[in-house]
A and B are shown apart, each in its own frame.
Chain A
Amino acid sequence: MLSVRNLTKTYRTGDEALKGVSFDVEPGQLVGLIGPSGAGKSTLIRCVNRLVEPTGGSIFLGNEELTRLSGSRLRAARRRIGMIFQEYALVERLSVMENVLSGRLGYVSFWRSFTRRFPQADVDKAFSLLERVGLTDHADKRADALSGGQRQRVGIARALEQDPELLLIDEPTASLDPKTSRQIMRLIQDICAERNLPAIINIHDVLLAQAFTRRIIGLQAGEVVFDGPPEELDDAALTRIYGEEDWTTMRTAKPGDEESGEHDEEERMAGLA
């Protein structure tokens, strides 16, 4: 589905953010990308939709080589890749509906988007997505009137409005509280399962990554140092990714509040449905 081959990125400042990264992502596969700050996670996913220009290597989405495209063909390829951001990156002064419909910008002409006359099918899709993420009543509110968790749901709806074949998710939970984080991760997991949609999720929270993804890639200084199922991510692997630390305390501290969080969350999700 997605194939990254020997990807390198050197910034103009001389920083080598990526040093020959290679991996493949299968359809429907959720990949957690972990690593310390500055390891190149953010650069890596931005190279996929070319928000950052890679220096070398190649990226294939299906049969199309993304790294060779430019102009309108690049824009057409970007439509196939949905992106979800850390600070939600909604256009704050636009309404929730306009934010969701902005997922169709790659498909409609400038005049249609300028006059906000999107095809009926796009509007129907937007309403059903808002319903799916539990925000039907908020369609005409301004995006900055929503809470963090709600904004991230709008961000998810916007990405899905593109009818993407791949999701790139950059720190989806970094600005959210632990409970909302788990709800958002669960939502992403469910949606990817429903649509057999592959996703790459940059995530700082190792436990969250282990709980919600079936494959973890560990990045350290621009190189892949771990690639495997979450069960294999033991103390040795964590030390390879992050450096020396007493990892047992991280694991033992969690279970208690995780359980109560889980319980609340199920009630919340039931309420939403």
Chain B
Amino acid sequence: MSGVSSRARQWTRPPVLIKSDRLRWSIYAGALIYLVLAISSVDINPARIYEGLERGWRFVQGFLVPDFTSRWSDIQQGFIESLSMTLTATVAGVLISVPIGIGAARNISPTAVYLVCRTIIALSRSLQEIIVAILFVAMFGFGPFAGFLTLSFATIGFLAKLLAEDIEDIDESQTEAIRATGASWTQLINYAVQPQVMPRLIGLSLYRLDINFRESAVIGIVGAGGIGATLNTAIDRYEYDSAGAILILIILIVMAAEYSSGYVRKWVQ
């Protein structure tokens, strides 16, 4: 202890990301200037904000007295269409995603298959649902069939990617042990991979079911059928009370899906 000098030593926290002071401050200044210019270009108009708030208040009033009855048959039809579109699209999407997900897992698939499957996933993920819906509506006309195709296509990108990542993270020693018994590739998938990824696959499928329902309401607006179309019509007709009823039902269904999928996910662990 005697050898330690008693003079206080200076310490300041070293810069974390950018070492050079000048570069750091010029980046901050540049970002600030851009932000100011960008805000000034947005054209904030107090009069329009005021009008918008007034319209918003009419929405709120409509939601406070939701009208379930006068358009009930349209609403019912819309929900039936949306729910059947959601369910069929999720099932079809999952069935297609599983082989693609297996193919896109680097640790169990040959490189050529891996690249093809990754390309399909990238394609599906790069196109947002609305854009896909617009394309399918243009190709196959208005209605739930276009919605079904859109949601199935979107499910592939989501589920196959996450499944592939889960397969890449499995415990390799279990795979090794099954391989050591002389098992074939299909048996390896069935005995070593499937038990390890099944709980997550079920959880993701349920999660996707719930996303697909929400998406079905959105893509309806561009003509792909379902409750979104009904909602769009109600707003176009200034029937905010019917629109309020539809929104409340959507919220309730999403919440029910959320709670039940959470429960199922815990149960399959």
Residues of A within 8 A of B (CB): 49, 51, 72, 75-79, 81-83, 85-87, 89-94, 98, 102-107, 110, 113-114, 155, 158, 162, 168
The answer, yes or no, to whether B30 is at the interface (CB within 8 Å) is no
Q: Contacts A49-B180, A78-B181, A83-B177 given: A91-B191 contact, CB under 8 Å?
A: yes
* Interface residues contributed by chain B, number (CB under 8 Å): 21
Inter-chain contacts of A162 with B (CB < 8 A): 181-182
- Pairwise interchain contact B187-A91, C-beta atoms closer than 8 A: no
Q: List 8 A-B contacts (CB under 8 A).
A: A51-B179, A51-B180, A75-B183, A82-B180, A92-B174, A94-B191, A105-B178, A113-B187
The answer, yes or no, to whether B176 is at the interface (CB within 8 Å) is yes
Would you list the 10 A-B pairs with minimal beta carbon distance, nearest first? A106-B182, A105-B183, A89-B177, A78-B182, A79-B182, A93-B195, A89-B173, A83-B180, A75-B182, A105-B187
- Pairwise interchain contact B181-A91, C-beta atoms closer than 8 A: no
- Pairwise interchain contact B182-A110, C-beta atoms closer than 8 A: no
Q: Please, how many angstroms separate the alpha-carbon atoms of A49 and B183 in the complex?
A: 13
The answer, yes or no, to whether B198 is at the interface (CB within 8 Å) is yes
- Pairwise interchain contact B184-A78, C-beta atoms closer than 8 A: no
Known: A98-B191, A114-B187. 16 other contacts (CB 8 A): A75-B184, A76-B182, A78-B180, A79-B182, A81-B180, A85-B176, A89-B174, A91-B177, A91-B178, A91-B191, A93-B198, A93-B199, A102-B178, A106-B183, A110-B190, A113-B191
User: Nearest A residue to B176 by beta-carbon distance?
Assistant: A51
The answer, yes or no, to whether B70 is at the interface (CB within 8 Å) is no
Q: Determine how close the nearest CB of chain A comes to the CB of B44; give it in whole angstroms.
A: 56
Inter-chain contacts of A155 with B (CB < 8 A): 177
- Pairwise interchain contact A110-B173, C-beta atoms closer than 8 A: no
- Pairwise interchain contact A102-B183, C-beta atoms closer than 8 A: yes
The answer, yes or no, to whether B209 is at the interface (CB within 8 Å) is no
The answer, yes or no, to whether B107 is at the interface (CB within 8 Å) is no
Inter-chain contacts of A94 with B (CB < 8 A): 191, 195
Interface residues of B in 156-188 (CB under 8 A from A): 171, 173-174, 176-184, 186-187
The answer, yes or no, to whether B192 is at the interface (CB within 8 Å) is yes
Q: Please, how many angstroms separate the alpha-carbon atoms of A93 and B199 in the complex?
A: 10
- Pairwise interchain contact A110-B184, C-beta atoms closer than 8 A: yes
Q: Please, how many angstroms separate the alpha-carbon atoms of A155 and B181 in the complex?
A: 12
